[in-house]
Structure 1
Amino acid sequence: MRKNLIASVAFLLASSTAVLADGASDGKVKIGILNDQSGVYADFGGKWSVEAANMAAEDFGGKVLDAPIEIVDADHQNKPDIASNIARQWYDTEQVDAIMELTTSSVALAVQAIGKEKKKIDIVTGAATTDLTGKACSPYGFHWAYDTHALAVGTGGALVKQGGDSWFFLTADYAFGYSLEKQGSDFVKSNGGTVVGAVRHPLASQDFSSFLLQAQSSGAKVVGLANAGLDTANAIKQAAEFGITQGGQRLAALLFTLAEVHGLGLEAAQGLTLTEGYYWNLDEESRAFGKKYFARTGRMPNMTHAGTYSAVLQYLKAIQKAGTDETDAVAKQLHEMSVDDVFGRGGTVGPNGRMIHDMYLLQVKKPDESKEPWDYFNVLATIPGKDAYIDPAKSGCDLVK
């Protein structure tokens, strides 16, 4: 009888292990959207990315492998320590399977390191540093919507070709700003241009006057704004007060999206050149998604919002294909599957976790060119993904053989 009992227990343990290996391990799939919901990047990502994630879950059918999909969110306040505490709590006690969005590069790097330690997937759509798929890469980390290299190739390349061959950088003083300045500088120099100087400003700065005066006195043809969100918008507003563009210098907003143009207005933003990975008015497919998103949010999506939709959708497809939400199995599918949705059209994922897709060089319209609300951009060029992103073999990621 004792032998029969031991055999029964062994059978039950083996059966429970089999259940865990296939399907959702805890009866649900839980995705966390962790981003800035109250600071300088609240429009850039914020609650609007949470809505995009909810849209993706709903469009997938609300379930995967017969398990309900749950989206949770939190505000990291652009602080890596707060983000790290939330990530650990989500992973350790709240059964979150993957964390996404992660606006702010310092936050994204911290959370990706935790995911690597705990064997959990993160998909970054809101941060830009190439270190995420370079020296800080992870077998469970993915970078989706854009990065500093793609922005430098797009916006920097356009202006250098147009004669903007001397640059001064106004840079956000943290990992994202450093990466964007470096990528931009490297690209300007490789195309025969020069960088005459740079100055760094605190995140969420209110007064750019001293920084702009340095840029103005540098004599550079282009003032590169290596910042984002409200920092970029405030710098552009104050640059107008100092007459920088009237004096013949050009402003290059290296990370500026539809959301910030809307906040700034066409009158102030007109003529700016920028790069995005998505534009709602690109074609019929983009317009259909944009209008669906607008119906629930009252605004059109930028590349962070559309990229978050794509990342959540692809993660769910990977679970479906793997037949389990076990991390290694899902990560394997994410690396192998192509990305075919409204954002990542024919996208591929490199061995370093970088999703390679086309980017778009855009110019902000003049007010009288805009035909309807949110019709803000002229599409100047499509930048093929192979040109926009660093070759994985040259990324510095130790996962690339």
Structure 2
Amino acid sequence: MKVTLERNHLLKSLGHVHRIVERRNTYPILANVLMSATPDGLDMRATDLDIEVTETVPAMTGTPGTTTVPAHTLYEIVRKLSDGAEVLLETDGNDQMQISSGRSRFHLQCLNPDGFPDLKSGTFTHSFSIPPQTLKDLIERTQFAISNEETRYYLNGIFMHTIDGGDGIAMRAVATDGHRLARVETEAPSGSSGMPGIIVPRKTVTEVLKLLDGVEGEVGVELSDTKIRFTLGGVVLLSKLIEGSFPDYERVTPRNNEKRLLVDRDSLSRAVDRVSTIASERGGKAVKLSLSSGQLELSVTNPDHGTANEELAVEFSEDAFEIGFNARYLLEIISQIRTESVEFRFNDAGSPTLVKEDGETQALFVLMPMRV
């Protein structure tokens, strides 16, 4: 194999594929990137057995061939080469690859490509295209609520499905960790109607989010009951889906919360951030909201450090009411609100609270209260 290509093109593509490779691997071949020189360019593929990323880099191929080299080491070498430099990749047999650029020479050990795993895609039952910004919104506004609990593996991703909302078919993305829930929807892309409800793993949505930066044109999505494939420009990401049933999130979404609070988003965010400065991790970073007519008082009590209080003028006309929340969870939800005001709907101090944008219905969030 002998191929010449521009350093920046190689670095960009290696940046896409090497992130999939885990630093520690039981199988040495999984630490490598598969590189195939063809007349069309240099094909690169990396996998962790759950996700596979493939990309083709423009290159001048002298001798076609295929090999595998350590992904992270190659990325670091190319990253440190001069900007705009020409890079020559050459193998003699399957034992070593020589990387040459200017006066720099490196030799990396290769592993036989025959042992490189192939994440078979199978047959996809649904395919559609979605604008990059729409997909980015669905992921960004729900990703923070993905659970980290390995025992409840079915919560370790974003649940995506379509629903008939009365005004047409909508696509929903939902994530929850049991403490908070995020639900965002958009008009369903053509071809997605009737798609199976799927749970896209955390690592997959994280990588897709990174790959969306700078993507021009629509993102292709293909899926089956067990796998999903994204085509983002020249990058193809294939991933296994999480097997299992996502819980009935509609059951925990409040429907009869009558107490309504409307407050300026930025003022609330800054106030919560300030008073939570003294909140203790031992106390769950709890902040208490005390509501009365036209006024909200935020307070934190830390036996080791003291207290903090701040008042805000709000729209609230119900009876006086107190409720507590984890400050970090509250701030994360507020950060997803895109209207100037944020609306809270309460029932009582022990029931889930509904949070949404003022006048908007595409996104809603549920936050469980804390005892304070």
TM class by shorter-chain length?
under 0.3
TM-score normalised by L of structure 2: 0.22
Higher relative contact order (CA 8 A, sep 6+): 1
Q: Which has the higher strand share?
A: 2
Q: Which has the higher helix share?
A: 1
